[in-house]
A and B are shown apart, each in its own frame.
Chain A
């Protein structure tokens, strides 16, 4: 039942992403708060609702963004998939797993964006876009991932108390 926190949390994340995070630019790139939150949530051992959270994140971001919603749909589900597979393998080093998820998630989402922009007929210089958008975004995502992971770990303990889990 406590999973209902996903609604206000993801809504707040999208609002913050649109109003503040998108203003904190490094070259032309900026962090992706919903992506980091979903990745950090899916990495928590007790969490069983990561897929639902990802779908909800798609709905919220798709409502605000002009980018076609399938990009977020596929991107966020892939992030959860990567996080859950890593969580089983790298469970002893959660921060390493978080960095890996952030890296993989950012690259996947940007690759999907490139593909969709190409399909829509937008011409761009791949090298320049990677240099001015993808790499700065990746760096910012990495920076944000540490505090967000800590926050989501505490949230997971609250949503899934150990008594209930065991």
Chain B
């Protein structure tokens, strides 16, 4: 071994020894002083480096952040649309579930659900247009209901749509039965959409809140379909009959899906009605 190699070996051994003593904690305060200087120096350099790095990379980050922001906003919009769609489906499902419950509770009839797609353009008439017609077996005169009660009956049919006369229409007349009073009457629509009862016997004791159902008389509608409840009664001694106004069971302003009773055939009793002589 020449003198140069020996010198190098000695230096390495000395440094290694110093490091071993330092890591072993034998230098105490000197080691702490040294390390603190190192840490401060590194902190200063690191902070300056980060500052310089931010200076050069920040614009690129803003662009990427903006891009990301746009992407996220688009995603939020999509999710909001999905939420609205899902909410609509939930509403439809709730309506359909109610209709299915109604159908199960009234198994004697056959129902076909149909969506309401329009109303009569004239504000004087109360008709709705549904999205199923003769292709689905709909015929004129078939009763239309919801889970809440009677809606009306099919007035006109084409292949894929039908027009339904609501019981609020001024030309609508339904034979009804007042359950509590045990008497019959006629439900009449009006231009303004209110429903009233006429031909209530003077002997009948009718109270506000009494339930009004279809009587089935005349063969135009099945019996026992709810129509509404009596709100007010007008009874005058000199008149032949009492009149009443009723609160419809169905909310006609919010009709979205209706059920058409397809196994009901209305009976035309007009030939049996005697002609009135002048």
Q: A18-B129, A128-B192 are in contact. Are A64 and B124 (CB under 8 A)?
A: no
**Among listed A4-12, A40-48, A116-124, interface-contacting one:** A116-124
Check B191–A18 contact: CB distance below 8 A.
no
A52 within 8 A of B: no
Within 8 A of B (CB), among A22-68: 22-23, 25, 28-30, 32, 34, 61, 64-67
B123 within 8 A of A: yes
Q: Which residues of A contact B (CB under 8 A)?
A: 14-15, 17-19, 22-23, 25, 28-30, 32, 34, 61, 64-67, 110, 113, 117, 120, 122-124, 128-129, 132-133, 137
Prevailing SS type, chain B contact patch: loop
Shortest CB distance B6–A (Å): 101
- Determine the distance from Cα of A65 to Cα of B120 in the docked complex, in whole angstroms: 5
| Complex contacts, A30 vs chain B, CB 8 Å | 123
B29 within 8 A of A: no
- Determine the distance from Cα of A18 to Cα of B122 in the docked complex, in whole angstroms: 9
Q: A18-B119, A64-B121 are in contact. Are A122 and B170 (CB under 8 A)?
A: yes
Check B127–A22 contact: CB distance below 8 A.
no
Check A22–B120 contact: CB distance below 8 A.
yes
Q: Which residues of B contact A (CB under 8 A)?
A: 117-125, 127, 129, 155-156, 163, 165, 170-171, 190-193, 253
Q: A19-B117, A28-B192, A133-B191 are in contact. Are A66 and B123 (CB under 8 A)?
A: no
- Determine the distance from Cα of A133 to Cα of B191 in the docked complex, in whole angstroms: 9
- Determine the distance from Cα of A68 to Cα of B171 in the docked complex, in whole angstroms: 13
Q: Told that A28-B123, A113-B124, A117-B191 touch, could you supply 17 new A-B pairs with CB distance under 8 A?
A: A18-B119, A18-B129, A34-B121, A64-B120, A65-B120, A65-B125, A66-B155, A67-B120, A67-B122, A67-B124, A113-B122, A117-B124, A122-B170, A124-B190, A132-B192, A133-B124, A133-B191
